Amino acid sequence: MKVNGRVVRDPDHWIDMARDRVRLDGKPLQPRERVYLLLNKPAGYLTTYRDPQGRPTVYDLIADVGTFVSPAGRLDLETSGLLLMTNDNQLAERVTNPISHVPKTYRVKASTRLTDEQLQQLRDGVELSDGLTRPARVALVRDTETHTQFEITLTEGRNRQVRRMVEALGAEVLKLVRVRIGPVGIGTLPIGKWRPLTRAEVRLMKGA
């Protein structure tokens, strides 16, 4: 590899792609175009590239994107909703790193009717096997005789966190949909479909 006409063999050599001229095998090296997309993941799809058991993955749904992108965070098999996919590793790290506290909002259907006190427990923090959860925003959507639907916004990303929090209340999650990451919501995007983020959404996400 040559940088500004000089051969560089040090793998830790710092390169400024905005100022340095880089050639690899005699050809100019260009920064790749950044791609940002939102996928409305259906339940039953894995957030992985390939499954040894042959189950469907989110990559089956984005075959027409034209370049490789990775999920910024994951949704478990039975969770649906908003999945951010990108080749911008810096943004993906910002979205997924617990230090960033990027809020993520989920729509939840519980297997029982939750009381006001139980919803307040979710807001205040629930003791799990890996410690007390951070305070959350919780808004009641509606009650039926047997179920409660609510939205919860978390600023941490523990494994199966929403399901475990509801289980700690003595209920189970019947349906779980992520509807928002930071400033970007899923809107009217049909399930199983994807769309690129707008420039404004990318700017907002980078500032989240």
- DSSP helix/strand/coil, 72: coil
Residue 102 CA to residue 81 CA, distance in Å, equals 17
The DSSP line for 111-163 is SSPPPHHHHHHHHH--EETTEEPPP-EEEEEEE-SS-EEEEEEES---TTHHH
Listed in sequence order, the residues at least 6 apart from 33 whose beta carbon sits closer than 8 Å to its beta carbon are 67
Q: How many CB atoms lie within 10 A of CB 156?
A: 14
Catalytic residue among 76, 124, 130, 143: 76
To the query of whether residue 88 is one of the catalytic residues in this protein, the response is no
What residues form DSSP beta bridges with 106? 152, 178
User: Scanning the structure block, which residue is given the tokens 């996400």?
Assistant: 205
**107: which 2 tokens?**
């729509």
**75: which 2 tokens?**
């949704």
Active site residues: 76
